[in-house]
Structure 1
Amino acid sequence: MHRKYAVEREKRLRSDGIRQWRALDGIVASADTDPFTAVMPRETVHDHVEFLFIGGGFAGLTICARLKEAGFDDFRILEAGGDFGGVWYWNRFPGAMCDTAAMVYLPLLEETGHMPSAKYVHGPEILAHAQRIGRHYDLYPHALFSTHLESLTWDESASRWIVRTREGDKFTATTVAMGTGPLNRPHLPGIPGIETYQGEAFHTARWDFNVTGGDWDGGVMTRLADKRVGIIGTGATAVQCIPQLGRDSGELFVFQRTPSAVDVRGNHPIDPQWYAALEPGWQAKWLRNFVQLQATGLAEEDLVHDGWTDGAKRIVARMLASDKPPAELTHADFMAAYHDSDDEQMTRIRARVDEIVEDPQTAQQLKAWYRQYCKRPCFHDDYLPTYNRPNVHLVDTDGRGVERIDETGVWVDGVHYELDVIVYASGFEFNSEYTFKSGLEVYGRDGRTLTETWAEGMQTFQGMHIHGFPNLFIIGHAQGSALLSNITSNYTDQGFTIAAILGHLRASGARTVEASAAAQAAWVESVLTVPKGIVGGPDCTPGYYNNEGQHEGRRERLNSGRFPGGSLAFFDYVADWRTNGRFEGLEFDGAAVPPSG
């Protein structure tokens, strides 16, 4: 098995690594093109706000909701889309749904009084919940939609940020938080000839229903009924939209470089009576339970009970079955338990393919030969059966990818596939260099850019604060909890943290806050002490989790690093840090608060 893993990995290694990808512009609709909302003329903005949040997804919604609860009202949300929703505003491909249970994925359920319709909900319901948060907290009057940030410049003399947008706005903000998400810039594979294709083509993050017909709610894509459709990519997005394409296309050709590991989803409706009986504070309890199981594999009960928590429990059960006392178990013991557990799990997932897919050759090509957490794990009940449809054809490239594209279609291994439509399910930029391809730049003290500051890797304190960039907060997961399985957990926690810091600024009369140089340096070095974990090594196929299989030096480790104790320990540490009144590691108006031990 492990020899097979190594062979399959070697096929897919590329010398260009993350440089193999290219931008959408000039090939398909630009990442900045909004097909859902007409941009209406408005007066440019020239004023001052106390707080600015960049991004109107769940990060901005959750954090600004917490600010509202804390009594802050002088803030603005800048959003490139025409409404709230972030990734769920843009990614309207058919079949889109969360792959983490809605009870923990959707933030502020108790506060808004919303019950998810099912354990895993579809995109339209998720977008509607984002808009519900906006209405519930009266955030719409604070938003500038269809607006693209161009630059942020720190004005030392006034202790505030100068904000410029592509639309001509120029205003100032005392504090700024950036929450553009880890997967916000779609990209295309660097396939030779991709720009020459003359048929219809689009990226899944900019789905074109004018081409396909149908709608995001699952309506039949009638315009594909007589079309030969090709989809390039078989990752998490493709797993969700391929069943819809297979149902509606005249013929569907799935071009696969690497198969996904697809386990059972087991979705079901939420029982209203059960939901109504939940005690107040239930969501905070569920969130902690999910993180606790992800981080330790141990809890009195599993409230979420999904593929994520099940995997962690299996690993820890293996560890506890060893002859060593729990106090003597090491990281090496964890890795050994993970390997044994994963061997069993992946063998079962591959056997599931044989149970469902009728054609033996297709079934063999759909089997994932790598460890489950090397790529984003997938859970779906309709993906594999789609390959039993007579109009659906798997074109496996044996790890090499599509050879080239011409005016009329796609070439693989010397064979030409003529196509009417190409759908690119090729994902997003992840952990790449800081410079935004949209042209955005951040200028801190003395005009130093964030691009320069992070040239050798991300430099932060707690993943949020940056020395030399006062009153700026970075919202995300890197160098913090690094909880990718439920990204909204990070935002929920960070909302409390920012509200506490802004409250201290207001109460103390301080004008600025930033990480001290010493605290940031210590934090960065602590991130480098964390072992790589379960997504590297010879058993992992290349992907965005592991720098496309390339060597990960100091810069790459910093860009994807985490708190040494793991996600649960990070959340516990930050909860104490923001409530003890000391804010160790930050400087307010230049008076350093010493970092904690």
Structure 2
Amino acid sequence: MTSPHAPAPDELAALRRRYRLERERRVRPDGARQYRPTEAEFGYYAADPYAEEAAGREPLHDTVDVAVVGGGFGGILAGARLRQQGVQRVRIVEKGGDFGGTWYWNRYPGIHCDIESHVYLPMLDETGYVPEWKYSPGEEIRRHAVRLAEKYGLRPDALFSTAVTSLTWDEASETWIVATDRGDAFRATYVVTATGTLSEPKLPGIPGIEDFAGHTFHTSRWDYGYTGGTPDGGMKGLAGKRVGIVGTGATGVQVIPMLAEDAGHVYVFQRTPSTVDVRANRRTTAGDVGADRDGWARERRDNYLRIVSGEPAEQDLVADSWTHSAGLLEKLLPSFRRQGDRKAFEAAYEAADASKMNELRGRVERTVTDPDTAERLKPWYRYACKRPTFSDKYYPAFNRGNVTLVDTADTHGIERITEHGVVVGDTAYELDCLIFATGFSVGTSGIHSGKLPVHGRGGTQLLHAWAQRGPRTLHGLTSNGFPNLIQMGSLQNASSVNYTHILDEQAGHAAALVAAAEAAGALVEPSREAESAWVAELAEDAPDHEWFHAECTPGYYNREGRGRPNGPTAYPHGAFAFHALLERWREESIGGILRPRTVRAPAGRWGARGAGLGAWWGVGGGGGRRG
């Protein structure tokens, strides 16, 4: 790893001291406890503003082939890949009013994806759809989710505005009993959980939050009834209003320029500034991305994954800020990059990191005209300490006379909220509207938080089974004692900045497991030995990133300054290699996860099997662990 403008040793030493000082300004003694889930005490922050009033219906007590928990891209992709295997009854259960997941909930002004649309939107080859922009607006993404669900016939059996409250394995029938908050208790031969990593909005635990008499909402539940307008702007309801927004992460960076255009005055309450790199969004044509040939989207998506996973690639098809800075993602996305001399690698990595961060701080200086504001917007930490953001409108917004940046680092955030506004230090800011752009409890699904209890063989609860030795899975997807349960998510498998690619690979794998079990009249359940072997493989080459994140500014990557979670959580050689490993495993070892049924089900009861298996088992090939 080389840097074109590598800092001198004394410059690096000065940067380390500055980073440490800025970190200490922001560390809070309560850590992650500073946040509270919206549903706990303030349910109105989590209410669904987009759904029509849920129609009354009788509780369901029927049987389906597969129940899928979650109607975002993970659940939709699972349903689509199961359909390709011939599965007849797939029931998606979703607490939102329609398909879309994160993109159903997040409809705030300015919303776009920060991953190129041609690699982010899944199944473009299968649908023939070509995104209009390099970075899609949220509504285009939501409509694509609905398009996939409609194409694969997932709506008729779906249950919306419905939350799963428990999953219970019934030994007598060898089926799962799926209970919901609307009185359902139906059965499913298989359950796929796709509850996502961005499903539970959170609020800061600021004293007095319940006392504010003005209008307030969370960005994931944008109130257009109050603001007026659409995600494209035009919020006439904010004319002349004093609007405060808490949070300057990926959401805040997109929302704040839109508020600046329409509100009377905007107060931006910032604890830690984000890195804000070039966006350079533009319209694209099919010719720009090679969409005139078969398999173009898969080729582009795989190329992107190669580059951000540290694999060699002859060409960078996406060529954006993510791929240009891919070498700095190693502390977030384990890869092959760290092979070789550790000391030399870390020295080169730090130099490249400093060069990139100097570039980003220089962008602030060149754009923001007020020196004091510019200084407070500069990010003083290592590149991989926080998720990068991208915007060409964020910094110019602070040159407007109706935008005020309020830095809260030295007061450890907002001190309190009153009936009339927000207090920071000795200053009270009177507000008409207070908006929380404070994100989600990242990586926390209902299953892992305990809100959705899962009871397997003998009534054992999944979290209890993991309490002693930590999570035990095979490939992050299946667990001993929980037959026919397939968990999609980020635990003990692969991670990437393009999460829909990860989900699509998991969906294809889940469909292959179900197809193999049906063909054999068997159950899907790994042995304890297989689990132990997988956990050991994750630990064998797990990178030591604890020291890096311990020195980072507080955020959700390091549990608000408390460090990364202990234990192996991801495949240590990157997503591209992990997908190749899964492909080999399906070809050579899938039979080892099948157990005989006690209750006999007819083999091949869904008709001819494996129609799409060959195509799916080929996805992600070409990589692999070296050595």
* TM-score, length of structure 2 as denominator length: 0.88
Alignment partner for residue 425 of structure 1, among 431, 437, 441?
437
Shift of residue 526, structure 1, vs aligned partner: 3.0
Q: Secondary structure at the match of 2:44?
A: coil
Counterparts of 1:423 and 1:295, CA distance in 2: 36
**Which residue matches 2:292?**
278
Cα distance in 1 for partners of 2:196, 2:126 equals 23
Matched residue SS, 2:510: helix
For structure 1, which runs of at least 5 residues remain unmatched after alignment? 317-325, 592-596
Q: 412, 417, 421: which is aligned to 1:409?
A: 421
Q: Which residue of 2 aligns with 1:477?
A: 490
Deviation at 1:411? 0.6
Secondary structure of 1:22 counterpart: strand
Q: What is the aligned counterpart of 2:576 among 546, 568, 576?
A: 568
Aligned-pair CA distance for 1:436: 6.4
Deviation at 1:569, TM superposition (A): 1.1
Q: Would the aligned equivalents of 1:528 and 1:557 in 2 still touch at CA under 8 Å?
A: no
Instruction: Tell me the amino acid that sits aligned with residue 578 of structure 1.
Output: R
Superposed CA offset, 1:364-414 (max 9, x none) = 000000112211100111111100110000001125211111111101112
Deviation at 1:314, TM superposition (A): 7.3
In structure 2, the partner of 1:507 is 519
Is 2:290–2:296's contact at 8 Å kept on the other side of the alignment?
no
CA contact 1:229–1:252 (8 Å) conserved in 2: yes
Q: Whole-Å Cα distance in 2 between the matches of residues 174 and 327 of structure 1?
A: 43
Aligned residues: 575
Deviation at residue 313 of structure 1 after TM alignment: 4.9
Segment of structure 1 superposing worse, 517-526 or 245-254? 517-526
1:412/1:449 Cα in 2 relative to 1: closer, same or farther (>3 Å)? same
Distance in 2, Cα, partners of 1:95 & 1:186:
19
CA offset at residue 311 of structure 1? 1.0
* Alignment pair present for 1:13 and 2:37: no
Supply the distance in 1 between the matched residues of 2:263 and 2:178 (Cα, whole angstroms).
46
Q: Which amino acid aligns with 2:297?
A: Q
User: C-alpha separation between the residues in 2 aligned to 1:332 and 1:182?
Assistant: 34
Partner amino acid, structure 1, of 2:304: F
Partner of residue 261, structure 1: 275
Does 249-258 or 66-75 show the bigger shift?
A: 66-75
The partner residue of 1:355 within 336, 359, 366 is: 366
Q: Counterpart in 2 of 1:184?
A: 199
- After superposition, the Cα gap between the structure-2 partners of 1:225 and 1:174, relative to the gap in structure 1 and judged at 3 Å, is same
1:475 Cα offset (Å)? 0.5
d(CA) in 2 for partners of 1:440 and 1:97?
Answer: 30
- Tell me how far apart the structure 1 counterparts of residues 329 and 262 of structure 2 sit (CA, whole Å): 40
Whole-angstrom CA distance in 2 between matches of 1:340 and 1:160 = 55
| Aligned counterpart, 2:557 | 545
Say whether residues 1:249 and 2:263 are aligned partners.
Answer: yes
Other-structure match for 2:622: none
Runs of 4+ in 1 over 6 A off after TM superposition: none
Letter paired with 1:565 = H
SS at structure 1 position matched to 2:566 = helix
**Partner SS for 1:141:** coil
Alpha-carbon separation, structure 2, partners of 1:309 and 1:286: 12
Answer yes or no: is the 8 Å Cα contact 1:87–1:184 preserved in 2.
Answer: yes
* Alignment map for 1:52-91 (pairs within 5 Å): 52-91=67-106
Q: What amino acid is aligned across from residue 566 of structure 1 in structure 2? A: G
Tell me the distance in 2 between the aligned counterparts of 1:267 and 1:475.
31
Give 1:203 shift: 0.5
Distance 1:332 1:186, change over 3 A: farther
Conserved? CA contact 2:549–2:558, under 8 Å: no
1:45-90 CA distance string (max 9 Å, x none)? 1111111111111111112111112211221111111111010001
Give the Å deviation of 1:202. 0.5
- For residue 428 of structure 1, report the CA deviation from its aligned partner: 0.8
SS at match of 1:201: strand
Contact 1:17 1:548 (8 Å CA) reproduced: yes
Deviation at 1:454, TM superposition (A): 3.2
- Which string of whole-angstrom CA distances, capped at 9 and with x for unpartnered residues, describes residues 474-508 of structure 1? 1012211122x111011111122111111111111
1:441 equivalent in alignment to 2:453: yes
Confirm or deny that 1:468 pairs with 2:481: yes
Quick check: 1:142 aligned with 2:157? yes
- CA shift, 1:219, in A, is 3.5
Cα separation, 1, equivalents of 2:98 and 2:534: 36
CA–CA distance in structure 2, aligned partners of residues 452 and 243 of structure 1 = 46
**2:593 pairs with 1:586:** yes
Deviates more, 1:19-28 or 1:160-169: 19-28
Report the CA distance between 1:451 and its aligned residue.
Answer: 2.4
Summarize the Cα distance change of 1:521–1:354 in structure 2 as closer, same or farther, 3 Å threshold. same
1:27–1:194 Cα contact (<8 Å) kept: no
CA-to-aligned-CA distance 1:450-474 (integer Å, 9 cap, x gap): 2222335432211111121111111
1:478 counterpart letter in structure 2? L
- 1:410 and 1:436, CA in 2 relative to 1: closer, same or farther beyond 3 A? farther
AA in 2 matched with 1:285: E
Aligned 8 A contact 2:196 2:443 in 1:
no
Say whether the 8 Å CA contact 2:473–2:535 is kept in structure 1.
Answer: yes
Tell me the residue number matched to 1:194. 209
Cα root mean square deviation, aligned:
2.3
Kept in 2, the 8 Å contact 1:477–1:487? The answer is: no
When structure 1 is superposed on structure 2, of 399-408 and 430-439 the one drifting more is 430-439
1:336 alignment counterpart: 347
Distance 2:346 2:459 in 1: 45
Q: Tell me which residue corresponds to 1:383.
A: 394
Give the SS at the match of 1:548: coil
Equivalent residue for 1:108?
Answer: 123
Q: Could you tell me which residue of structure 1 aligns to residue 11 of structure 2?
A: none
SS at match of 1:223: helix
SS of equivalent residue, structure 1 residue 49: strand
CA distance in 1, matches of 2:84, 2:276: 41
> Alpha-carbon deviation of 1:340?
1.3
CA distance in 2, matches of 1:244, 1:53: 36
| Cα-to-partner distance string for 1:269-300 (whole Å, 9 max, x where unaligned) | 11234456532111221121111111115210
SS at the partner of 2:525? Answer: strand
The gaps in structure 2 that reach 5 residues or longer are 1-14, 331-336, 599-626
Secondary structure at 1:515 match in 2: coil
| CA-to-aligned-CA distance 1:159-185 (integer Å, 9 cap, x gap) | 110011111111100110110111110
1:34/1:445 Cα in 2 relative to 1: closer, same or farther (>3 Å)? farther
Alpha carbons of structure 1 residues 287 and 535: separation in structure 2 relative to 1, 3 Å = farther
Give 3-state SS (helix, strand or coil) of 2:548's partner.
Answer: coil
The alpha-carbon deviation at position 28 of structure 1 amounts to 6.1
Alignment-derived partner of residue 557 in structure 1: 566
Alignment correspondent of 2:624: none
Q: Which amino acid aligns with 2:301?
A: L
Q: Which letter maps to 1:577? A: W
Q: What is the CA–CA distance in structure 1 between the aligned matches of 2:230 and 2:122, rounded to whole Å?
A: 26
